[in-house]
Amino acid sequence: MTFKEQIQQGIPTILPLPKPFEVNINHAPKRKDVLSDDEKKLALRNALRYFEPQHHAELIKEFAKELETYGRIYMYRFRPDYVMYARPIVDYPGKCEPAKAIMLMIQNNLDYAVAQHPHELITYGGNGAVFQNWAQYLLTMQYLSEMTEEQTLTIYSGHPMGLFPSHKDAPRVVVTNGMVIPNYSKPDDWERMNALGVSQYGQMTAGSYMYIGPQGIVHGTTITVLNGFRKIKTNPKGGLFVTSGLGGMSGAQPKAGNIAGCITVCAEVNPKITHIRHSQGWINEVIENLDELVERVALAKANNEIVSIAYLGNVVDVWEKFDQENIYIDLGSDQTSLHNPWAGGYYPVGLSFEDANEMMANNPEVFKEKVQKTLRRHTSAINKHAAKGTYFFDYGNAFLLEASRAGADVMAENGIDFKYPSYVQDIMGPMCFDYGFGPFRWVCASGKPEDLKKTDAIACNVLEEIQQNAPVEIQQQMADNIHWIKGAQENKLVVGSQARILYADAEGRMKIAKAFNQAIAKGEIGTLVLGRDHHDVSGTDSPYRETSNIYDGSRFTADMAIQNVIGDSFRGATWVSIHNGGGVGWGEVINGGFGMVLDGSAATSKRIESMLFWDVNNGISRRSWARNEGAIFAIKRAMETQPLLKVTLPNLVNDDLFES
């Protein structure tokens, strides 16, 4: 069968042969056994409902074995035989261009060069899934190949509920992930529901088909590192940034350090992902010995080198060794997947990677104790460096939250706040999100590198034009973003699809998108897919990350994210998504995203203006109402440019009134 025929087939009527377990692929760790005997039967019934009854006798034994061996039913047998990657849009079968673009984006999320655990359909973060099993993938792709512009595909936590009648201006796909009743939104609830096959953790851009590899966060990471050094009034050259995590998003850290111009040491316990990142050029060197690491860092400092070094081992050992050897750390953070601490997101010190994985599955209580003990040691070492002047920030991965739950010394004197800031509180929030700057991105559906190069040039020209009349309050942001896009090609950021990320505000996003659309209309470039990270101005309500600099008491509310996805859906998005979980853990955040296909039409130009304006200014208005100074400035400026916008502004209270 051809590729198109395999897509159109969906779930095959004749069972494919079982597939061998490929040991050279980076696989998800075994999930702990959380189901009762009756629940295991229910999980099997749930899995078998995808298949004709004549296949049940054969598949039930196989699925029961998967559940016992891996803690999940992945349906490995049904993994496609074709190579998984984002093909040019013309290679996909379908009745409408948006559906083909969505298929392209789904396959990019599962590309072996992109996905963390591709055979388990997990893109990043240890449990950020595109689908729960391969039947869901096959059925979704089949539905998309049949979809017309008068239908909308509804997806419940990876399960394609079906094609429903709608209209041309409606989203083609609406995705929800992990949207459970709040009282059932704890980590063990996710483990149980995911094992049953009824809910999944979509992370952010994993379950919304908008992941573009480590590049997806490298720009924001570069901004963070640059401004971290600016905050401590230190030149990055010769400065040392210590962190950990080389999986999905965290793999961007060493590349960002190189772009910012510092020395980066990033620890990672997983040998496979370490060597993958090294082979992809995201890190310069790999070191496995602590003494050798100390010597190498000392040499790099002496020579003011710009270099990224992966330490294959536990980051706690690095922090403690650098303390003993008086290696001064300028910036420190952590980007392990601590939203998922008991299932592969964070590894205890003193255990090999293999032994930790075995304990995680077979002795989860002891594993949890060791993780929490490690968090206490980790924090103790950080505190010692902080006392010497290190600027440490929480990278929004729930590090401080889980450390506090482990009893580590991370609380401020008031007993309420953490002693270290979130990077959103100190950098990203006041400098970017409050002014509307966030991770805008696009993908060239043609798959042509020359199209990406042309879009880079178009975006750069638009930003330089905007900068000429931009107010002083955002000149630094504009300069950083122009510098970024000019260096994008030489920094070799592409992994998987021909994609780009670029921080921009509403004005920048709309003008860039319109310029792209005009270039498509003229035949200068092919179809584009627009999107953004959920980690943005409006898309995410996350009290310990995206909305951690909301100080009016509303940071635990999720109205903004819900309003965002609803507003995007009727203003012109091609697909929309809303998730529970993402980055900081299930039950800790609500986040949403979108995709928009640009086809060069006048109708698309109108959708660009309507949707992108809302997608940014929804969040600015909320941040303004919280009395964030930059957001008040930004929303007033937005009202000046758009007469139909009328936002409630806060009246500020004089602090002196509270003294009487």
The dihedral sign for the CA sequence 104, 105, 108, 109:
negative
In the chain, how long is the greatest CA-to-CA distance?
A: 81
Strand order in the sheet with 285-287: 285-287, 307-312, 263-268, 240-244, 331-332, 391-392
What residues have CB less than 8 Å from 654, skipping those under 6 apart? none
Q: How far apart are CA 9 and CA 142, in angstroms?
A: 7
Q: How far apart are CA 120 and CA 379, in angstroms?
A: 32
Spell out where 236-318 has E strands: 240-244, 263-268, 285-287, 307-312
| Closest of 585, 586, 590, 580 to residue 555, by C-alpha | 590
Tell me the two tokens of residue 544. 């310990």
By the 10 Å C-beta count (0-12 exposed, 13-18 middle, 19+ buried), 325 is classed as: middle
Give helix 315-324 / helix 364-387 axis angle, nearest 10°. Answer: 30
Q: How far apart are CA 30 and CA 357, in angstroms?
A: 7
Q: How far apart are CA 226 and CA 236, in angstroms?
A: 7
| Closest of 141, 217, 204 to residue 178, by C-alpha | 204
Q: What is the four-CA torsion angle of 532, 536, 541, 542, rounded to 10 degrees? A: 110
Instruction: Please calculate the CA angle 152-155-159 and round it to the nearest 5 degrees.
Output: 135
Residues 295/247, Cβ–Cβ less than 8 Å: no
Residues 131/137, Cβ–Cβ less than 8 Å: yes
Q: How far apart are CA 613 and CA 618, in angstroms?
A: 8
Q: How far apart are CA 24 and CA 375, in angstroms?
A: 31
| Closest of 175, 188, 183 to residue 136, by C-alpha | 175
Helix spans in 197-262 (H): 215-231, 252-260
For residue 603, what are the CA distances in angstroms to 224, 572, 606?
Answer: 37, 9, 5
Give me Rg for the CA atoms of the chain: 24
Annotated binding residue 203? yes
For residue 38, what are the CA distances in angstroms to 84, 353, 597, 645?
Answer: 36, 33, 45, 55
Q: How far apart are CA 173 and CA 577, in angstroms?
A: 8
Q: How far apart are CA 374 and CA 380, in angstroms?
A: 10
Q: How far apart are CA 493 and CA 209, in angstroms?
A: 19
Q: How far apart are CA 177 and CA 155, in angstroms?
A: 8
Annotated binding residue 125? yes
Tell me the two tokens of residue 246. 């080389």
Q: How far apart are CA 243 and CA 408, in angstroms?
A: 18
Annotated binding residue 389? no
Instruction: Please calculate the CA angle 546-547-551 and round it to the nearest 5 degrees.
Output: 155
Annotated binding residue 268? yes
Annotated binding residue 553? no
| Closest of 418, 414, 428, 515 to residue 463, by C-alpha | 515
State the amino acid at position 22 in one-letter form: E
Q: How far apart are CA 423 and CA 217, in angstroms?
A: 14
Residues 620/436, Cβ–Cβ less than 8 Å: yes
Annotated binding residue 395? yes
Q: Residues at the annotated binding site?
A: 125-126, 203, 268, 395, 583
Q: Residues at the annotated binding site for NAD(+)?
A: 125-126, 203, 268, 395, 583
